[in-house]
Chain A
């Protein structure tokens, strides 16, 4: 036992936590300062006056009072994106190819988990279970989602990508788009045939919908409650655990070493006795199961899922991966958190800052604007090495 404990490299366990804390605090601080400065300036223009006429508070107060909630929401979303982005980044690191169908792996994880929970609720088990058991059920549903999603990712690789491994770059990408479309409608078909509908709702059970309330903040004549939904806490903790686990797997185990060596140079790795096909399959398995878990976390947070649910989170997670530097695991964490924060900030403040002309409906295209900017000014991402040399 002692020997085993010794073999766990404590640094590798702690490092991602440190990184995540730094990234979260850093992006939160930077964005808050920007928003507050903007609010301070805009307060003296018509924007501030319009808001004052409506809510009887200055724009600056409005911004600062809403800030804690925005930060919490942004962090939650950021962790979901980071978990999905890891799937993209791992596959990209190993195969240099965008696994476009990763968003459907996400959807599969969400559907498997939600279907299991719905079945449990239908059997009357969920409603009579204790608080502890409801967490156990959530955990089991997530495990099942991870298993199926991981399996689907491996199958996908075997069927649609492996035959194309030596083809020109765009060929596997087009195949991946095909897989993505095929899977979307396959999920829909299976769901429609078995349940008669394809929009599913995450069942209400346990205490996930409650909020931990810390107090209230006064805003003009009204008050804003300050709190964090328990499901957000679950999302953050679960994502954190997975990220730590993945980091450990990649940086401190033998399999991880093999993955890294395949990413660096496939042919040399195979000369060193590494079974490249197996390692690529493992990469898909790990990335896919993380994606599946993220899918269930997403369903927990946003409640409603449909077969096309993965499209936007997938696209944004990809953006996050590029933002952080694709192929780089730490970069995916950073990119995910920054993007989640940015998007939540945009959703929360865009309307107030533009006098209602552009509201939160533009938050989806915010990510693409960022993506284009990153690619123009820093194509290798925030933390990326010079990938283009390898291409």
Chain B
């Protein structure tokens, strides 16, 4: 066994039946653990990471596909209905994955740093929030003064149409913003998009007068959802009721539905993105990203290509915005702050610019960090505070720990750390894009000035 190293081990794992065994074990262990401990974060992490082993291990693509579909479409929703918090987590992961994939086109493919990405998300969200609620009839009233029994403007099933309208509206906004500003250099563009994001947020917060379009800082509620047929509820309970342990109510099935819609959107985005990546447009984006001057010299229409990237990225955010408005039934300007933009950016950077799998991995990591790990730490610390425990050696009682030390409040710090550390130590991200890998390898010899 001399010289048997980790490298050989990883090589052997990728051979024969081993990948299948590992994958199935991972999925099964994860499922059983989450089923038995619906509150454990570790069990949930094991289940979620099984997607990663599906992605990394060598196996028949059909096998991978079936296992992945089973995991995403059956196991996750059922476990999610069992513990509604997981459903929220996987829903948010899928929403942010879609956003990260969209931003990935702008930042990763075309190399345009967009710091106001959630503005497009807001456009989609407010579009459905306006048409899918009573807001149209609230127009003449100041916030909080409207009469109680106003009708809805459109039926909830128009939601499906508005996903497409959201795409169009966000893409148009992207083009309108892009036309004037895409001529400027990259770092200026970053600041302009930042400013644009703030403009949208300020507008959302203040367009409650002279006509009440957005209901100001209070936000719009209630926003309609598409109808959920009773047959779907009964069907779910008939098939999965015993596994879940309690009959699923309409509210949690709505969450399942939005999660599934988000998955469909993600699949479409991934397919579109993969096609775009290797198309003429994709290669033009890569050229623009690597060297603008050379790209112009090669006859690439610079502004047009940048606009295409901007519009494509924006349109996905628009679709997700419509979805968000419907799933939350409430939106307010709070949800579209600069921090959200940076959150999505750090997902892309963490996963790897220009990498599709990376964007999803980044979105999952950051969302789990936000929703579970930071919250879990906060909970743990507050439990420690109530106990009589003492830190050994320095003899510090947990009781005296300041209640201000609440990790869930310090998301910015973690976003910041992710950005700095990734830029310094691994600018290509956790799952580097193929093209970037090549490029960074050729640049490995540092050029001293």
> Which residues does A use to contact B, with CB under 8 Å?
97-98, 160, 163-167, 169-175, 177-186, 188-189, 192-193, 196-198, 266-267, 270, 311, 315, 318-319, 322, 356-358, 361-362, 364-365, 367-369, 371-372, 375-376, 379, 388, 391
Interface residue from A173, A180, A193 paired with B404 (Cβ < 8 Å): A193
Q: Is the CB of A266 within 8 A of B191?
A: no
Q: Is the CB of B427 within 8 A of A182?
A: no
Q: Is the CB of B416 within 8 A of A361?
A: no
Q: Is the CB of A372 within 8 A of B449?
A: no
Q: Is the CB of B180 within 8 A of A179?
A: no
Most buried by B among A97, A169, A171, A182: A182
Contacts of B181 in A (CB 8 A): 372, 375-376
B188: Cβ under 8 A from any A Cβ: yes
Contacts of A391 in B (CB 8 A): 185
Q: Which residue of B lies closest to A193 (CB)?
A: B402
Interface residue from A171, A192, A267 paired with B423 (Cβ < 8 Å): A171
In whole angstroms, how far apart are the Cα atoms of A188 and B349 in the complex? Answer: 25
Q: Is the CB of A177 within 8 A of B115?
A: yes
Q: Is the CB of A178 within 8 A of B419?
A: yes
Most buried by B among A177, A270, A311, A322: A177
In whole angstroms, how far apart are the Cα atoms of A172 and B423 in the complex? Answer: 7
Q: Which residue of B lies closest to A307 (CB)?
A: B412
Q: Is the CB of A185 within 8 A of B199?
A: no
Given A189-B410, A364-B198: A167 in contact with B206 (beta carbons within 8 A): no
In whole angstroms, how far apart are the Cα atoms of A315 and B210 in the complex? Answer: 28
Contacts of B195 in A (CB 8 A): 315, 319, 365, 367-368, 371-372
Q: Smallest CB–CB gap between A363 and chain B, Å?
A: 10
Contacts of B345 in A (CB 8 A): 174, 177
22 pairs from A and B in contact (CB 8 Å cutoff): A171-B427, A174-B113, A174-B423, A178-B417, A179-B416, A182-B420, A185-B411, A189-B405, A189-B413, A192-B402, A192-B405, A193-B402, A198-B404, A315-B198, A364-B198, A365-B199, A365-B202, A369-B199, A371-B191, A371-B195, A372-B180, A376-B181
Task: Classify the secondary structure of B's interface with A.
Answer: helix
Contacts of B346 in A (CB 8 A): 178
In whole angstroms, how far apart are the Cα atoms of A196 and B405 in the complex? Answer: 10
Q: Is the CB of B410 within 8 A of A185?
A: yes
In whole angstroms, how far apart are the Cα atoms of A163 and B420 in the complex? Answer: 11
Q: Smallest CB–CB gap between B352 and chain A, Å?
A: 13
Q: Smallest CB–CB gap between A384 and chain B, Å?
A: 12
Most buried by B among A98, A173, A181, A184: A181
B150: Cβ under 8 A from any A Cβ: no
B264: Cβ under 8 A from any A Cβ: no
Q: Which residue of B lies closest to A189 (CB)?
A: B410
In whole angstroms, how far apart are the Cα atoms of A249 and B73 in the complex? Answer: 66
B447: Cβ under 8 A from any A Cβ: yes
Q: Is the CB of A182 within 8 A of B417?
A: yes
Q: Is the CB of A361 within 8 A of B202?
A: yes
